[in-house]
Structure 1
Amino acid sequence: MNKSYVLQDFSEKEADIVYRLKTKDRNVIFYVLLELQSTIDYLIPFRLLLYMVEIWREIYNNTPHNERESKNFRLPPIIPAVLYNGAGSWTAALYFKEMLDSYRDFSGHLLDFHYLLFDVNRYSEEELIRAANLIAGVFLLDQKMRPEELVGRLQKLAGVLRRLTPDEFRHITSWLKNVVKPRMPEDFREKVDRILDASNPWEVERMIYNLELTLEEMQQQALLKGLKEGEQKGKLEGKLEGKLEGKREVARNLLLLNVDIETIVKATGLTPDEIAVLKKQLEQ
């Protein structure tokens, strides 16, 4: 759904993706609320509840008055899910009631739900490639990896991607935009957008090749930047060393003139210990 559910209490966070599914045999719409997490959020059951209420509130407000006042009016099911790609194990509560104080004392009278947890880094790469489906592909691409590993993952998934429908392929490219692209430098994100927007399942090799060229360009740029910064750092260090040697030379000359150490400290900025070392060298 092209809808963002930003809440006032969590203005820096939002429900990342909301899918709406209609079953084939019944006129039931499921809302699947998918929250993407790279770190453990111990408030996640409460946040999910707020998102769910926000969706239901919007549906209620957009339903004609006579329909929602009917005894047959029903709100759609919402299946909350969390996709976690952090390095450590997920330790937040899986049930909403666990956030309520003394919930065991009021069993059967409390609001509760259990969200689905997909811990993508707990799956092995071999398992996901063997599954050969859209969700396995998403999990594989969402696992912790360096940007340069992206092409290798996509090459392993090429056979799976080629068999996807255009709609399924759009989900993969959307995922790449939302999950993989933020790991890249900002000046390369627009290029990635253009490549993914122009891609389709039957030309997946071209997409991978273009992404590979972009990543290589990114790496070369990072290397050049590192070399440039190293060169500038070397020049700066050289200048500082030159200035320091100049101060030492002045201190030596003043020592030869029998100027007292306190005056030399004020004149050069060197410490008394540094001047003492220079004096000892002159006496040898």
Structure 2
Amino acid sequence: MLFKTKIGKKEAYLYILLEHQSSPDELMPFRLLKYLCNIMDNHLKSQKAKKLPLVYPLVIYHGKRKYPFSTNLSDLIDAPKELVDSYFLKPFQLMDLGQIDDKVLKQHAWSGVMEFALKHIFARDILPYLKEIADILHKLTLSGGRHYIEIVLQYLLERGELSDQSKFFSLINKEIFPDVGEKIMSLQNN
């Protein structure tokens, strides 16, 4: 049963789940989470709201024996307690690439080239940015990262703006790795 009420001037919901199972459910906290998310999602859609409502879950259990399982969702997570306490249902970590200097991104070769590509993908011309990381891409190709580099370059080609596509492939063939440019060109033609 779902009851809608007001707390102050804000809408809130009281969700009462009548437990009619003959045996308690160890995953009840997870079931409740799914129900709560559905209620919140429905509220956002039906009310065209920008904020989530408070939903207070209440499970009424009427089994013959005492309820044997934890009511805490975090107890269901199969990880060390310290990690669960530190990360589960906490604010997510945000990496705002627009606020990170390009020099810092380029210091982390493997992750940095993709982050650099993501950061500059909406530039009017992606070619100058490709030139900035060409040497890093070349080194990564030589150290076993060829497939990864193909993915980065394919992303730049498909999503970025290019003033001159022939210069893009020329740069790849001369400064990164000839076969990589050919592979991307063949993918583009398919």
TM-score by length of 2: 0.42
Specify the structure having the higher radius of gyration (Cα): 1
TM-score by length of 1: 0.29
